[in-house]
Amino acid sequence: QVQLVESGGGLVQAGGAWILSCAASGSICNSNTMVWYRQPPGKQRELVAIINGGATHYVDSVKGRFTISRDNAKKTVYLQMDSLKPEDTAVYYCTSQGFWGQGTLVTVSS
């Protein structure tokens, strides 16, 4: 069993920066791939960023603006979001090994 808890959602102005956290516990190790997804209002969930060891991958719409990182000692994954746009408004989820967090809402106002 893996437990994932996202935090850090809130309201931010367009052009601003925000950071999300995902704290993991249970049967998880530092080598496990961690993924951030998001689901905009009325749309399907989409992959945002992946971290696997030292490798990262981003969806094109966030490349150069978002950064995924992890603190292995804290078993926490972060999503640093810069130059936010209204279209980044979504519920953000982290996932690993088939387990999902409850999500955290980020609203970007124009």
pLDDT digits (tens, 9 = 90+) for 47-106: 999 999 889 999 999 999 999 999 999 999 999 999 999 999 999 999 999 999 999 999
Q: Which DSSP helix (H) or strand (E) runs through 104?
A: strand 104-109
**Measured between alpha carbons, how far is 66 from 43 in angstroms, rounded to an integer?**
20
Nearest-angstrom CA–CA distance, 108 and 10: 8
Q: Which residue has the higher pLDDT, 27 or 109?
A: 109
Q: What is the pLDDT of residue 18?
A: 97
Residues 2-51: pLDDT tens digits?
Answer: 999 999 999 999 999 999 999 999 888 878 899 999 999 999 999 999 99
Determine how β-strand 55-58 pairs with β-strand 66-71: unpaired
The enclosing H or E element of 43 equals none
Return the pLDDT at 105. 98
pLDDT attached to residue 28: 81
Secondary structure class of 52 (helix, strand, coil): strand
**Other Cβ atoms within 10 Å of 81 Cβ, number:** 25
* pLDDT confidence of residue 3: 95
